[in-house]
Amino acid sequence: GAGVSQTPSNKVTEKGKYVELRCDPISGHTALYWYRQSLGQGPEFLIYFQGTGAADDSGLPNDRFFAVRPEGSVSTLKIQRTERGDSAVYLCASSLIGGNSPLHFGNGTRLTVT
Amino acid sequence: AQSVTQPDIHITVSEGASLELRCNYSYGATPYLFWYVQSPGQGLQLLLKYFSGDTLVQGIKGFEAEFKRSQSSFNLRKPSVHWSDAAEYFCAVGAKMGSSNTGKLIFGQGTTLQVKP
């Protein structure tokens, strides 16, 4: 079946611009996660949704970052006033019910801020 | 604070040789532990996980890992490496809420595995 889909796969933007990154989780998965992976590093947790609500947003680095999941399926990660330090691969994952269900990761969106 | 350390940033082994990738964690209680593999341009794929019970866990692609509480380790092993195993490997610990894994993972820095023919 279809896995976690992330679009776009690559995004290049200028410093100061606004970007949106989209994640389509596996159908029926209620838990959705965003992670950020900088070059040479492991993924870092950003935010976790259970259904429509953000259960844990403690990993968002500052108020320029925001994520929504209005209908409990597709999620959008929004970054305002992008900075060069935001350049990274943004990974989305989903799981069936959270908890002990395994995470299924998408291929990520590579964001480059010039 | 919870943390994961993968001491080896890069490892090279010959095809057919055995492999062990090291992982040490810091966590206040019995952790949930994971190993993921990431090939270039691909998403993370779960190799295996430990939640409780038998400390030797079997995973996909012939991998296994052993949880050693006394050493705070969860090393990944494979008896005979194939060229297709070349990839980046990440160890992770799962944050808990009560007795359940929240799915919020703390990853190590990763180990890049190169396989020589």
Where does the pLDDT of residue B101 fall: very low under 50, low under 70, confident under 90, or very high at 90 and above? Answer: low
DSSP state of A51: T
- Evaluate if residue B76 carries a pLDDT over 60: yes
Which residue segment(s) compose the domain that A37 sits in? Answer: 5-113
> Total structural domains in chain A?
1
Mean pLDDT (whole number) for B8-21: 97
Q: Is B44 on the interface with A (CB under 8 A)?
A: yes
Chain A residues with beta carbon closer than 8 angstroms to that of B101: 99-100
pLDDT per residue as tens, chain A (114 positions)? 589 999 999 999 999 999 999 999 999 999 999 999 999 899 999 999 999 999 899 999 999 999 999 999 999 999 999 999 999 999 999 998 756 678 899 999 999 999
State both tokens at A104: 């299924």
**CATH (domain of A108):** 2.60.40.10
pLDDT of residue A2: 81
Per the prediction, chain B carries an average pLDDT of 91
Residue B90 — very low, low, confident or very high, per pLDDT cuts 50/70/90? very high
* Number of residues that this document lists for chain A: 114
Question: Cα(A50)–Cα(A95) distance, rounded to whole angstroms?
Answer: 10
Measured between CB atoms, does B10 come within 8 Å of chain A? no
Domains of chain B with CATH codes: 3-116 (2.60.40.10)
Question: Residues of A with CB below 8 A from B107's CB?
Answer: 42-44
A4-13, A56-65, B20-29, B76-85, range with the lowest pLDDT: B20-29
What's the pLDDT at B29?
74
Q: Inter-chain contact B102–A98, Cβ cutoff 8 Å?
A: yes
The dihedral sign for the CA sequence A47, A50, A51, A53 = negative
Residue B96: CB partners within 8 Å, gap ≥ 6?
B29, B32, B102
How many contacts (CB atoms, under 8 Å) link A and B? 64
- pLDDT at residue B52, as a whole number: 84
Chain A hits for B57, CB-CB cut-off 8 Å, are none
Give me the phi and psi of B85, to 5 degrees please. -80, -10
